[in-house]
Amino acid sequence: MGPKTEELLNILLWSAEILTNPSWRSLFESYEGWAYRNGLLIQLGRLEQRKWVTRKSRDRSDRVYRLSAQGRLQALGGRDPEARWGRAWDGRWRLVIFDIPSGQDAEREWLRRYLRGKDFGCLQNSVWITPDPMEEERRTLARGSINVASLVLLEARACAGESDEEIVSGAWNFSRINERYSRYLKTLEARPAGGLKSEAGAKKFFRWMSEERAAWLDAMTTDPLLPARLLPPNYLGQTAWRRRLHAMEKTARQTAEKK
């Protein structure tokens, strides 16, 4: 997804009417000429083709675009935090344990990148863990270039007195995760409070939106979004998410004031 696509999806997400009816017109009714000059309406047409935005009317003069459920997920960075935190956990850990022979460094690094991208935690360099079932991982690894004789996938429970809290602390670096959420919260506090009645005010707000999205995604990329029962007590992710929603509500009122 290109930067302009990300920007537009983020604008629609932020211009939501309390996150229920995201509308392009709600933010840009007075700036359609500006939008045309910057090619944003052309980009909106591409988003519509991907079904990331929708229109109630097929009339080409209709400029009311709404973010679809799929588009909202893309705007959030591909994962819905509330859905991830709210998922059930059966109390079993899933482990990927591997011992890839020397001379197959590329395969080893591919596997580590793959597991990290799937939000696995690293207990050791060759022991990775997740609370989620591994159907997709089993299919992917079975047809990959990794020698399956050097790879084991397990379901397990701790049996020597280790707590789930200790396992989480050993597998994921929540100090680093919280540092990034702290930076995000500072960015959120810098949200422009002025109105959007002028082009200069709107552009200032859009610049901040780009900074906010970059800070949010920076925090999200390190966060496995574990089920709520596994989250550390000092975890800042849910606080950051609630404040983001609150900021979106304020933005919805800001955009409504200029109509």
pTM of the model: 0.78
Enter the DSSP assignment of 229. G
Angle between helices 237-257 and 199-220 (to 10 degrees): 160
Q: What is the pLDDT of residue 176?
A: 96
Q: What is the pLDDT of residue 62?
A: 58
What value does the mean pLDDT of the chain take? 79
Q: What is the pLDDT of residue 18?
A: 35
Q: What is the pLDDT of residue 75?
A: 76
Angle between helices 135-142 and 105-117 (to 10 degrees): 160
- pLDDT tens, position by position, 91-118: 999 999 988 777 778 888 888 999 999 9
Alpha-carbon distance of 226 to 87, in angstroms, equals: 9
By C-alpha distance, which of 226, 235, 224, 236 is closest to 184? 236
- pLDDT tens, position by position, 205-220: 778 888 998 999 999 9
- pLDDT tens, position by position, 135-181: 888 888 766 555 556 788 889 888 888 899 999 999 999 999 999 99
Q: What is the pLDDT of residue 98?
A: 87
The answer to whether residue 29 scores a pLDDT higher than 50 is no
Least confident of 28-42, 121-135, 175-189: 28-42
Helix extents (H) in the chain: 3-14, 24-28, 32-37, 40-49, 69-75, 81-85, 105-117, 135-142, 164-171, 174-189, 199-220, 237-257
Q: What is the pLDDT of residue 96?
A: 92
Q: What is the pLDDT of residue 5?
A: 65
In this structure, are residues 9 and 75 in contact, taking their beta carbons and an 8 Å threshold?
Answer: yes
Strand, helix or coil for residue 117: helix
